[in-house]
Every structure is written in C-alpha cells, then in structure tokens.
Structure 1
Amino acid sequence: MTEQERRTGRDESEEERADRRWGELLQEVRVTQMGVQILFGFLLTVVFTTKYDSLADTDQNIYIATVIVGAAATGALIGPVALHRLVAGRRIKPQAVEWASKMTFVGLLLLLCTMAGSLLLILRVATHDDFVVWLVAGIVVWYVLCWFVLPLWARRRATE
C-alpha cells in the first residue's frame, strides 16, 4: 500500500478517484447553483419595480455591481456542468475535476460578494442607518469563517 492510500484509506486508481471527486463536486455545485440562481433571479426583478427609480445613486450602483457579480457567480457555478459535458469521453477527467473545482471556488467567492451586495442594498433601503455597513461586514466575516476558514482549518488539522 502506498503512502497516499494509507492517508486516504482508499485503494482507488487515478480515474476512480477522479470519478469519486467529480460526483462529490457535482453534489456541492447543485447546492450552490440553486441558491445563486434564486438570488440572481430575484436581483433581476428589482430594476422593474417602482421603488428602483427612487433609489439613491449609491444604491443603484450597489445594485448594478451586485447584478454583475451575481451573473459572474452564476456562470462560474454552472461552468463545471458545461465543462463536464464538453470534455466527457476525452480521457481528461482528473484535469477536468481540477478545473471544475477551481471554477466552483471562484463561484463561491463571487456568491459571497453577491450576497454581501444584496444584503447591503436591502439593509440600506430598509433601515437607512449607519450601522448597516458594520452589520454586513459582520455577516461577510461569518460567511468567510463558515465557508473558508473552518474548512481550511479542518483540512490542515487532518494533514498534520
């Protein structure tokens, strides 16, 4: 048994590992795709409401930036599906898994920005209070802790 097999507890070929990792990645992407698509769909409707015209220029700029980042997040999180479809059968699954994983990570970062922008806009319109920026910053820190810091900490502990 190789050192890698002892560490992972799996006896699988590179192709079997790629198949397993691809399945896991698709499950993860399904969860985020649904959320980003619902959020992006909601964002697209805001401009058609009567309230939009009465928004301050700053709020309209936040909205526009959030829609653009939301569109980018949607693209990055749907990208792995298109990648899989276009490279299926080309015998490059291990590389495709790596590329799709990177797209998903970028998509998560963009989703974080989309959620922060949406929250900032909603709370600015709903409350008009100065503490909104601090509240949104706290939520962003929470997302970063849950989505990145804790998983990286767990990964580091597992490899020590």
Structure 2
Amino acid sequence: MDRDTSREAHSGDGRDESANKRADRNWDELMQELRVMQTGTQVLSGFLLAVAFQPRFTELDDLQRGLYLVLVGLAALATILSLAPVGMHRSLFGMRRKPQLVQVAARMVKADLVVIGMLSVGVTTLIVDFTLQRGLAIAVLIIGALIVIGLWLVLPLWIARDR
C-alpha cells in the first residue's frame, strides 16, 4: 500500500478502506435508507391523493382543508427530497465527486426525515380531527411530535453519548 492510499484508508472507525470505497459504501447505505423512506412517502401521498376524491372531502372545515393542503405540499417535498440525490448522482456521474455527493445527499436525507416525520404526524392528526374531535387531534399532534423527536433525535444522541 503506498503512502497516499494508506492515509485514505484510515477513517477512524476501524475499517481498512480508501476514501473512494468509503464513499461507495456510504452511498449504498444512503440509497437503502431512501428506498425505505420512499415507500412510506408513496403510501402517505397515495392516501392524500385518494382523500380529495372522496365524497366526504367537502365536509372538511377550513382548518382541515388548510392542513390537508400543507400535507400535500409536505408529501411533494418529501418526494422531491428523496429523488434529489439520485438526480444529483446522474448529473455528477463519472466526475469523481462521490464524497461530496454523499455529504450533500446525507443532508438531504436528514431533511427528508424531518419532512416525513411532519407528514406522518400531520396525516394522523388530520384523520383524528376529521373522525373524532379537534381536542384529541391536538393531543395526537403533540404526542406524535414527541415520539418522532424522541426516536429520531433524542434516542440516537443518547446512544452516541453512551458509546
């Protein structure tokens, strides 16, 4: 192993891999995460699309209709964010920019997780508000937000700190 390759291979996590191999591995992991996220986004988007064509859609009050439109916007944003890394990869393919691509794509995945969390909690809130009552929907909104924050932010920080 020459001196440059040796320096690239040290990543601090015990793996013996070059910077390019690490970028390839990280890219593959990001793509797996995006596949999971896209499935959830597609299900929620399909639900939201179907809602507008239901006979009872006209029974939504102004707040529910506003929430519905926000949720449709979040679903579109989640879809765009999950597809952006693939589009960037196509644009940058063969330019030897994978480490930068992985760095930007990782940020997009984090942003997409925030949007999907908001979308999931929002859809649940809308359903509870329409089918039961607004007070319960507000409770669902708060509890759902706390669960998302707890599982996606606090728990990982706690695990990292415990290490």
What TM-score comes out, normalization by structure 2 length? 0.89
Cα distance per residue 1:82-115 (max 9 Å; x no partner): 1212211110000000111111111111111111
From 85, 90, 114, give the equivalent of 2:119.
Answer: 114
Q: CA deviation at 1:150?
A: 1.3
Alignment of 1:27-42 (within 5 A): 27-42=32-47
SS of the counterpart of 1:8?
coil
CA-CA distance at 1:129 after TM superposition:
4.6
* Structure 1 residue 6: Cα displacement: 7.5
Residue 142 (structure 2) aligns with: 137
Counterpart residue number, 2:77: 72
Unmatched tracts of structure 2, length 5 or more: 1-5
Secondary structure in structure 2 of the residue aligned to 1:10:
coil
After superposition, the C-alpha distances for 1:114-134 in whole angstroms (9 at most, x for unaligned) are 112111110001111513211
1:128 is aligned to 133
Deviations 1:21-69 (A, max 9, x none): 0011111111011111111121112111111111111110110011111
Q: Counterpart of 1:9 in structure 2: which amino acid?
A: G
Match of 1:23 among 24, 28, 31: 28
8 Å Cα contact 2:126-2:137 kept in structure 1: no
Runs of 4+ aligned structure 1 residues displaced above 6 Å come to none
The alignment covers a number of residue pairs equal to: 157
Bigger drift between 114-123 and 149-158 goes to 149-158
Please report the TM-score for the alignment, with normalisation by the length of structure 1: 0.90
Point out where structure 1 has 5 or more consecutive residues left out of the alignment: none
Cα deviation, residue 153, structure 1: 2.6
Question: Residue 7 of structure 1 aligns with which residue?
Answer: 12
CA distance in structure 2 between the partners assigned to 1:124 and 1:34 by the alignment: 25
- 2:85, 2:108 within 8 Å by CA — same for their partners in 1? yes
* Higher RCO structure, 1 or 2 (CA under 8 Å, sep 6+): 1
Structure 2 residue aligned with 1:89 = 94
The CA RMSD measured in Å over matched residues stands at 1.8
Higher mean displacement: 142-151 or 17-26: 142-151
CA–CA separation in structure 2 for the residues paired with 1:97 and 1:49: 41
**Aligned residue in 1 for 2:58:** 53
Q: CA deviation at 1:135?
A: 2.1
